[in-house]
Amino acid sequence: MKIHWMLGIKAAIEKKHQNGEEANVLDIGTGTGLLSMMAAKCGADSITACEAFTPMAKCAIKIIQENGFEDKIKLIHKRSTKMTIGKNGDMVKKANILVTEVFDTELIGEGALSTFRHAHENLLEENSIVIPHSATIWVQVVESSAVCAWNTICPIKVKNKYLLNTPHSVKSCSGAAAVHDIQLTQFPDDAFKPLLPPQPIFKFDLSGKSTLLYNEKRCLHVKPIINGTAHAIFMWWDLIMDVNNQVLLSCAPVWEHPDTKILQNKGFSLKTIADLIPWRDHWMQAIYYLPVETPVTVNNEVSLIGYHDEYSLWFQLINESINEAPDCERPVCSCNVHVAYCRTRIGQLNDYTRNEKYIKVLEEKITPDTICLCLSDGCLLGLAAIKLGAKKIFVLETNFLSKKCIEMFIKKNELSEKVEIIESVDNLPPENEINLIFGEPYFITSIVPWENLYFWYLISRYSSQIQRIPIAATIMGVIVEFNDLHKIRAPLGVCEGFDLSIFDKLIQASSDKSDSPVEVQPLWEYPTKALSLPFVIKKFDLTENVNEIEDVNISETVPILTNGMCNGVALWIDWHLNSEITISSGPTVEVQSGTRISWDPFTRQGVHLFKDITHVTQQSTVLWSFSFAPQYGNMKFDFRILSKNIK
């Protein structure tokens, strides 16, 4: 990615010098100081870098000194909007080259429009060169039930029988206002159908020749390429780095990336191309959900309308050609579901296979005398138990918004006479009032999958004589080689010839103090190859009282079965509903060593990333240890590769 900036900076400085001008560079949001050092290397006459974040500004000063540019780069510790020009100001005179990368997945979400606009009005000369020179936002309208699963809750049904219907307020809600950023390249080809060809909908002239507007709407008239129902819009953007339109940085998914056709003509497969195209985890793609599902037909022109304010984008599609785009407020959630639950949780609630397993086990347990206690946040399956014949359901809902959502479903399905909501764990019903405890388990406050073992602590208030679902839980792991995910923790080292190791030390010191050795990631978005078979870390019997369990301290080794670059361990939890049926938050198909793992898209898995990447062979092993203090709920993991680096 940085090569694009280097080429743009080099071209800008050369152009100013060819015109007999000085090249005076302003670097906004300098971070490590890398772009400023590029400008120095390319021969800029003066360079001013600004950085508002104090730890980063101090780090940049050290990096600039370490690389020998302290006499060429002046660092200003403030926001660019607070900078002054003049004899005693931050810059003696205005700059004539601006370089900055204040972009996010949505392009404008970090305030790029106001940053560029303020710079042109206050910090730059006329006819300044700006890097990047322009930006374009691209959109593609798609049909995809898989995408919809993240946005709206469908009725719960089994064998074509509806057990729970969705309130109209949920079905008609446009969803969360926050952008849904995603690695679209990893989205299965057969999970969506493009209805319109990709369209450039907003073009931003960053050069200053025209004023950047904070509020715009644009209407495109487009003919669909296939019949279907428009559900959502895929979005990405690209940047033109230089005034000659020669250097393009594209964030497009693999099937629309400008390099794809070139590589396909050379015989590369789409799968191989996906690995060759630059990987990014900050500038991904995004999904926007249309406020209304719209049927479209081939060659019948539709109106695709885009809107943006200073920070956000939104869209609508009208199934006719209109002359003037209507005004449209930025969509916000009106049903509380999209505020109470994350997108992966909504996807869980829509997972038919998952629901079918739970319902099968409930059907075996529920009788007309069943009084069930449901211990999970937003547990619609607990409500569905009434339709399966349960006499009464107690539902624990300690989260205010989740409680409001459950109340909507209770009202819609006319269940109020048989459902009682409990708002505090202190008010749970006594043991003699229930005969079945059920949980998915899921709690809004849980981050890593095993934190949902809070369910175990709640059911331990009751004797083991009361039936429960699930009956056990197993924490699982597998040793892996990530294609790209490990890069989020990888040191920068030397980048484009500049030593950034001081930044690496800062990040590592901060990480050692504050980061858990296990983080969570939606692993379906990150290609992962298994280097071992899955292994059991610890199985818990949920019929036992957790308060009577002794501390757990385990240490074992796992053999590596496939040669590879070992950079991580993936972790998840399996819930055993009974002796035969299990719900996994990890792989969706059996894991084979040496092959790519297929991950559940509706949960986030635990990830341990090794600091050092090690080439492992079938003679290698990984030592793991696990400790659990039930009294405090603390779990600790440790992993070490027992093999020497092979060079």
Asked if residue 257 has pLDDT above 80, the reply is: yes
CATH superfamily placement of domain 355-445: Vaccinia Virus protein VP39 (3.40.50.150)
Q: 274-307, pLDDT tens digit by residue?
A: 888 888 888 999 999 998 999 999 989 999 999 9
**In CATH, which of 1.10.287.70, 2.70.160.11, 2.60.120.10, 3.40.50.450 is domain 472-643?**
2.70.160.11
Whether 344 and 522 have beta carbons less than 8 Å apart is answered as: yes
Strand ranges (E), 397-453:
419-422, 436-438
pLDDT at residue 1 in the model: 58
Q: 385-416, pLDDT tens digit by residue?
A: 999 999 999 999 999 999 999 999 999 999 99
Q: How confident is the model at residue 253 (pLDDT cuts 50, 70, 90)?
A: very high
In whole angstroms, what is the distance from residue 62 CA to residue 270 CA?
Answer: 43
pLDDT at residue 645 in the model: 45
Interacting residues of 594 by C-beta distance below 8 A, sequence separation 6+: 529, 530, 531, 561, 562
More confident residue, 633 or 305: 305
Peptide bond into 132 cis (omega under 30): yes
Return the domain boundaries, the chain.
Answer: 1-131, 135-335, 355-445, 472-643
Q: Characterize 360-384 residue by residue with b for buried, 16 or more Cβ atoms within 10 angstroms of its Cβ, and e for exposed.
A: ebbeebbeeebbbbbbbbbbbbbbb
The residues assigned a catalytic role are 101, 110
Asked if residue 647 has pLDDT above 50, the reply is: no
Asked if residue 646 has pLDDT above 70, the reply is: no
Whether 175 and 289 have beta carbons less than 8 Å apart is answered as: yes
pTM over 0.75, yes/no: yes
Strand ranges (E), 425-534:
436-438, 467-469, 472-482, 494-495, 498-499, 519-521, 528-530
Provide the percentage of residues in the chain whose pLDDT is more than 90: 86
Whether 130 and 207 have beta carbons less than 8 Å apart is answered as: yes
Asked if residue 59 has pLDDT above 90, the reply is: yes
Q: Is 43 left (phi over 0), alpha (psi -120 to 50) or beta?
A: left
pLDDT at residue 437 in the model: 97
Tokens representing residue 573 in the block: 């939890």
Q: How confident is the model at residue 270 (pLDDT cuts 50, 70, 90)?
A: confident
pLDDT at residue 324 in the model: 87
Q: How confident is the model at residue 644 (pLDDT cuts 50, 70, 90)?
A: low
**In CATH, which of 2.60.40.1260, 2.70.160.11, 3.40.718.10, 1.10.10.410 is domain 135-335?**
2.70.160.11
Asked if residue 207 has pLDDT above 70, the reply is: yes
Q: Which fold has domain 1-131?
A: Rossmann fold (3.40.50)
Domains 1-131 and 135-335 equal at CATH topology level: no
